[in-house]
Chain A
Amino acid sequence: DTEVTQTPKHLVMGMTNKKSLKCEQHMGHRAMYWYKQKAKKPPELMFVYSYEKLSINESVPSRFSPECPNSSLLNLHLHALQPEDSALYLCASSQESIRGQSNQPQHFGDGTRLSIL
């Protein structure tokens, strides 16, 4: 069992829908990450939060909106997505980061598999 919990595990949505992905950890980690992973490809970093502040946004389209309401929770709000946004979305956390870059091992959730119709 993973210590980083992601919900839902699967999500199917239309291009006009609004939905949110959720990520939760109770390890006291102060850095949290969102990744996007397409099939047979490595993950791509999207966002990094460090001490509940957004520290890295890797030029992600505004239809993806991250939120870190507290040190244990990380959300990814989705709106007006495109079919090419279908992917596995992974959340991770680590003990700390310096300027958003992890210098501690990251712990990953099992992801949310997102399909856009």
Chain B
Amino acid sequence: KQEVTQIPAALSVPEGENLVLNCSFTDSAIYNLQWFRQDPGKGLTSLLLIQSSQREQTSGRLNASLDKSSGRSTLYIAASQPGDSATYLCAVWRGFRETSGSRLTFGEGTQLTVNP
């Protein structure tokens, strides 16, 4: 059964700081990994999607890496801003050969607060 863990559960940083959010998964037979953000009372916003054959993706101040063999992904946020405050979730789709259990597993999320 795939388990996805995100560390830390909560993080509070001053504005302008660079930060790293961590995601680990127990089953390396994944199809892809996605990072999302969720604002209170809202749906999810897709930030970055990394295919299992890729090692990283970048979008603006965000960089996500994937090390499938070690079961780890990181989301790097450069020059953090108060508007980055949200809950960040990672999610993995299982590989096609996997036929039991949920096909998509989310981590519990990291609640980020960026203080002005």
Contact = CB atoms under 8 A, between A and B. Distances in A.
Interface in B20-62: 31-32, 34, 41-46, 49, 51
A48 B94 CA distance: 14
Contacts, number: 60
Contacts of A58: 102-103
Contact of A101 (B41, B45, B96, B108): B96
Q: Is the interface of B mostly helix, strand, loop or mixed?
A: strand
B93 interface: yes
A105 B44 contact: no
A105 B49 contact: yes
Interface of A: 2, 4, 41-45, 48, 56, 58, 90, 92, 98-111
5 contacts: A42-B109, A101-B103, A105-B46, A106-B44, A111-B42
